[in-house]
Homo-oligomer: A and B are copies of this chain.
């Protein structure tokens, strides 16, 4: 005996059995909902409005809704069993894999700091640009009796003359129609070559001059979000950027729950395929928007943490989460992207950024590469705030690092109005006399808050005395912006201001979570600095990376106690340094080799085995910190 569920606005009806959840029904209808927590009722992202039929929000899910919303029939899809024929409306915000294009503004914000960083590279600027794969156009002399070397030798001889490497490797596939192709195109061909040190691997030979059409992808495979940059391999320019939530989220919010899924009740294959689908979707959008033939894309560099790197390559990560935390590999073989199902040129290659250990991944190695942290003798620090916070301190001779679980708060996960840095995200907030002004990405109507918006609002709330240093609301409940709920919410944008007609707000418990996140990050920085015996002001520069959004306000990030209180001119926000590093490696063989060196040089400090960390964490659960001496410049 089953029920019918009709999903709006698609008007798509499915029949389901008893005991089915609304989430499963939506899947059956082909509607992919945002389930950051893997359908555990924890993230509150899969909100649906039941407009016809009887359904009730699960008790545990009630906290995610206002009274008004509960009355309007809002439920969490994952926590709601179907016990009636239903009509359900799916809000835009509840859909997974948001494919909203990052606005140009955001794309520029991503790439601007990179440009600065690229110019600071220690590599000779003339030789920096040495893409992992390049296209070379050759006009070959026709063979004669006096010069009748083999066809492929004619090509490599010309390559040696023109490019100057010694040794060329070629696959059988490239040889198989070569004789015909050369003669058909009058000895004018374009050769696609992947470079390794002094040797080249010929991936493709095509007739005529096609050097103008040559593209690559730099990918950040984050636990929460996936970002793909389309790169013109001839100029090195970023042609476009697309990002989306990691579709793996439906198997669990964090890497641990996804490993548990892949190694237990689920399968590695499902988790692997999810990320491949992510990449293909983003790739497809990019290639359509930018009118690029996917067959002209010949190289990919992907950076991700160690677990994500395993999932991407279809490697079992089961031992990463079990003591003694052993990954299958930290250096990965070059693979053909098509082997993994990624739809670029059939011979196109994919490189995965080297990782260091189970919890120090290729994303942080990419960040070190992008920031130039390992280039000079000055001691610098890199703080990458993703779902895991990763900290590196070091210089051109030594590197130590650690990681701490920060949760997805700064990436827009785990709270009702959190979203990643996409169109409509509130990225800047100012509160003055209880009047809120904000700025959204793309100047669109607000849809939610991204990481930089959360930092701003917390700072503004504490500065205005609306919350106290422990994060509790300190105002009469009658305040027009404060709701009268068990977990009261401060409203930034009222329903008439927003795109969806739902208010954008932040609750006391969400603030508590953000304080935990910033506390974990700060405690990790402090512990690592103590470990190597350095005071914060001995750090020449602090680079801050992460998907906060385009305009992280460094001063406010210091003021809430997320970042150390040093001269803020020495703190530099560099955005998504993972995708930046991936792009550098894509565009520079020496940079990719440097990344391998970096990965081998890094020493990982396991904070769970480092007792002072927990004390530091507890001391940091305060705005800005229980020890005000650590934040002398902060005044509120």
Contact = CB atoms under 8 A, between A and B. Distances in A.
Interface of A: 143-145, 147-153, 169-172, 175-180, 183, 313-316, 318-319, 323-331, 333, 335, 339, 357-358, 606, 609
A172 B313 contact: yes
A335 B149 contact: no
Given A143-B324, A316-B180, A153 B331 contact: yes
B148 A325 contact: yes
B148 A333 contact: no
Nearest to A156: B331
Contacts of A176: 314-316
B152 A326 contact: no
A349 to B, nearest CB: 12
Contacts of A314: 172, 176
Contact of A326 (B149, B318, B335, B358): B149
A185 to B, nearest CB: 15
A147 B169 CA distance: 37
A324 B145 contact: yes
Given A150-B328, A177-B316, 11 more contacts: A145-B323, A145-B609, A149-B326, A150-B327, A151-B328, A153-B329, A153-B330, A153-B331, A175-B333, A179-B319, A183-B319
Contact of A179 (B169, B180, B316): B316
Q: What 9 pairs between A and B have smallest CB-CB spacing?
A: A148-B324, A145-B324, A150-B330, A152-B329, A150-B327, A179-B328, A143-B326, A150-B329, A151-B328
Contact of A357 (B148, B171, B179): B148
A609 B146 CA distance: 12
Contacts of A606: 145
Nearest to A202: B333
A169 B325 CA distance: 23
Contacts of A318: 179
A567 to B, nearest CB: 38
Interface core residue of A145, A149, A172 (most chain B CB under 10 Å): A172
A317 to B, nearest CB: 8
A137 to B, nearest CB: 21
A316 B150 CA distance: 12
Contact of A172 (B147, B149, B177, B339): B339
A184 B147 CA distance: 58
A148 B316 contact: no
Contacts of A183: 319
A243 B554 CA distance: 78
A319 B319 CA distance: 55
27 contacts: A144-B324, A145-B606, A147-B324, A149-B326, A150-B331, A151-B319, A151-B327, A151-B329, A152-B328, A152-B329, A152-B331, A153-B330, A153-B331, A169-B333, A170-B333, A172-B313, A172-B333, A172-B335, A175-B313, A175-B315, A175-B329, A175-B333, A176-B315, A177-B316, A178-B328, A179-B315, A183-B319
Contacts of A175: 313, 315, 328-329, 333
A177 B319 CA distance: 12
Contacts of A331: 150, 152-153
Nearest to A178: B328
Given A179-B318, A314-B176, A326 B169 contact: no
A180 B178 CA distance: 42
Contacts of A609: 145
Nearest to A358: B148
A328 B145 CA distance: 15
A323 B313 CA distance: 48
A610 to B, nearest CB: 13
A315 B313 CA distance: 32
Nearest to A153: B330
A176 B332 CA distance: 11
A357 B147 CA distance: 11
A178 to B, nearest CB: 5
Contacts of A319: 151, 179, 183
A326 B151 contact: yes
A323 B144 CA distance: 8
A593 to B, nearest CB: 13
B171 A326 contact: no
Contacts of A357: 148
Contacts of A145: 323-325, 606, 609
Contacts of A316: 176-177, 179-180
Given A175-B333, A333-B171, A326 B180 contact: no
